Structures are given as C-alpha cells and as structure tokens.
Amino acid sequence: MNQIITGFYQDEEGHWAARLACGHGQHVRHDPPLVSRPWVLTADGRISRLGRTLDCVRCDEEKAQMRMMESQVLVLFDEERVTAVYPDQSIEQVTWADLETVAIHTNDSGPWGSDVWWALTGASGECQYPMGATGEKEMLDRLQKLDGFDNEVVIQAMLCTENAEFICWRKPQVQLGAS
C-alpha cells in the first residue's frame, strides 16, 4: 500500500528510514550496488523525497491480517433468516420476513483506507458483517434476488473511502388501496 513520506529518521545502527503517513517506518538504505539511494545520505536529498510515496510493507501485512479476521466472520442464510457468526461465537440474526433495509456502511477509520460493512436491518434485529466475511459472496447473490435491490449503489459504496451509508434495498411500502 502506497503511503506518503512525512519524514526521515535513523535507526540505532545509523541506517536511514522513512516515516510514513500511516505511522509506520520503512528502511530506505543506500546499499550499493544492490540498492542505490545516494539521495538518502544528504538532507537536501531527503527533503526532495518528502511528499512522495513508498509502498508500506507493514500496511500490507496488517491488511492481510485484517482480511484473515474478516474471513473469520461467517454469514449464512436459509429460507427463514440470515445469521452472522462472529469469531467470539456471538450471533446476530434477522429474518427475511422482518428485513427492512440492506445497507453498506463505509468508513475511513482503517489505517489503509476503507472498511466496508454490510448491515441488514429488520424491526427486531440487525445483522452486520464485513466485506470479506466467509459466505459474503453467496449472501450477495441472495440479496441481489430481492425485488428492487440496487447494484449501482453497491458499486458506489465500493468506491467510497469516507464515512457513509449506502442503502441498497428497502422493503417495498405496502400499497394503500386507491380511493
């Protein structure tokens, strides 16, 4: 994941490292002939690199860990209801009959940008699970069969990296008889 370089510092052995916007540090050694970064040895050289980006290895590792956590949430459904099972074995359920809205919540709180959660809300229950949860794809196939489910909204949500709520489906209003 590319992160902006906000500064430089030296480790205990005097090797230069870049401080990145995510808070991580990453070595930027000048180690010829393997790695040639003569610019890191001068203050001018370092200053000229501020604001550029580096691919942060630590962010990628954290992201991979997060993906593992997400995949430990299990979402499943049958004719009756949707069930999300969390790593601590707690459960959230909502019945299809009860379901009122299907939404996607995006937020910018993650160190690498966007987090995306599905939220299925009914009158008597709510079921939330992250993008990447086990069973999420099967669940999406099922949700897309809901009458009036809006795939365009799903696509918009995927592109969003801010705090936002996207309503993909709402229970159709009961038609009142024409007078």
CA distance from start to end of the chain = 60
Q: Toward Zn ion, which CB reaches closer, 37 or 58?
A: 58
Q: Which residues bind Zn ion (CB under 5 A)?
A: 22, 24, 56, 58-59
Residue 161: CB minimum distance to Zn ion, A: 16
Q: Toward Zn ion, which CB reaches closer, 28 or 59?
A: 59
Q: What SS3 class is residue 136?
A: helix
Q: Which of 115, 99, 118 is nearest to 107 (CA)?
A: 115
Strand partners, 110: 113
- Which parts of the chain are beta strand (E)? 2-10, 16-20, 25-27, 53-55, 74-77, 81-85, 91-95, 99-110, 113-122, 125-130, 164-170
Q: Toward Zn ion, which CB reaches closer, 22 or 120?
A: 22
Residue 7: CB minimum distance to Zn ion, A: 14
Q: Toward Zn ion, which CB reaches closer, 23 or 87?
A: 23
Q: Which of 66, 68, 137, 144 is nearest to 102 (CA)?
A: 144
Residue 67: CB minimum distance to Zn ion, A: 16
Q: Toward Zn ion, which CB reaches closer, 63 or 142?
A: 63
The torsion angles phi and psi of 177, rounded to 5 degrees, stand at: -60, 140
Residue 20: CB minimum distance to Zn ion, A: 5
Residue 41: CB minimum distance to Zn ion, A: 24
* Cα distance between residue 153 and residue 169, in whole Å: 9
